[in-house]
Amino acid sequence: MPKISRRQIENKQKLKDNLYNLDEAINLLKLTANAKFTETAELHANLNIDPKYADQQLRTTLTLPHGTGNTVRIAVLTSDDKIDEAKKAGADIVGNTDLIEDINSGNLNFDLLIATPDMMPKLAKLGRVLGPKGLMPSPKSGTVSTDLTSTLVEFKKGKFEYKSDKTGIVHIVFGKSDFQEIQLKENLLTLYKSIEQNRPSGVKGKYFKTLYICNTMGPSIQLDLATLSII
């Protein structure tokens, strides 16, 4: 049985209730962020969806008001005539056949892959490498684009894709523990509203089952959905 540290015990003791409104939850999130590094603020939303059905799938993109606090390393796969454009727009890695060879060899030294449409046929054979890691470009996520400059600017500003896992739960980073409370609150509200607005058409009845936030090393804090729905 794993040993529970004193820090973990003290953090759990700070949670007095089962449900918290938004302000209380964010305050607790800050109070329990006491690891020896800057922790990541996470949201875990359990939704009343079954992703095996096409009309119950949740997948979209979002830019938070204050970003996620993460630095994203972006690779661009494009034709030779657009390589300079990609570099000027801030791409960290740019390539053509050489980048495809690197990916095929398992060298995935990037967090996001953007491709121009003409490169997608060449990427098809790399689905087994990129797919499991969620790195395969797609038009729906905005990572297949002919306008590399605007696309790169958006993703460098913090645009990201999120989707539910196969059990209908969404796991999303919405900031860092050193963000101000108001920044975390605004990011979380934006995220909640985005999930609500992208409610799959096949969902019947109650959409949100439970909603928790936590730090990387902190306890789970359950939000009172009734108080969120009136904001």
Write the pLDDT tens digit of every residue in 114-136: 999 999 999 888 888 998 888 99
The Cα 26–Cα 143 span in angstroms is 32
Boundary of a domain, candidates 156, 178, 200: 156
41 with 92, same domain? no
Does position 1 have pLDDT exceeding 60, yes or no? no
pLDDT digits (tens, 9 = 90+) for 17-42: 789 999 999 999 999 998 899 999 99
Residue 5 lies in a domain: no
For residues 200 and 183, what is the distance between their CA atoms, to the nearest angstrom?
Answer: 28
Q: What is the CATH number of the domain that holds 63?
A: 3.30.190.20
| Confidence class for position 4, pLDDT limits 50, 70, 90 | confident
pLDDT score of 206 more than 70: yes
Can you tell me the distance from the alpha carbon of 138 to that of 60, in angstroms, rounded to the nearest whole number? Answer: 11
pLDDT tens-digit series, residues 149-177: 999 999 998 999 899 999 999 999 999 99
Q: Residue 83 and residue 52: Cα distance in Å, rounded? A: 38
Same domain (yes/no): 93, 147: yes
Structural domain range at position 192: 10-67+161-228
d(CA 122, CA 96): 10
191 in a domain, yes or no? yes
Angle (deg, nearest 10), helices 22-31 and 181-197: 130
Determine the pLDDT at residue 7: 76
Q: Is 4 within the bounds of a domain?
A: no
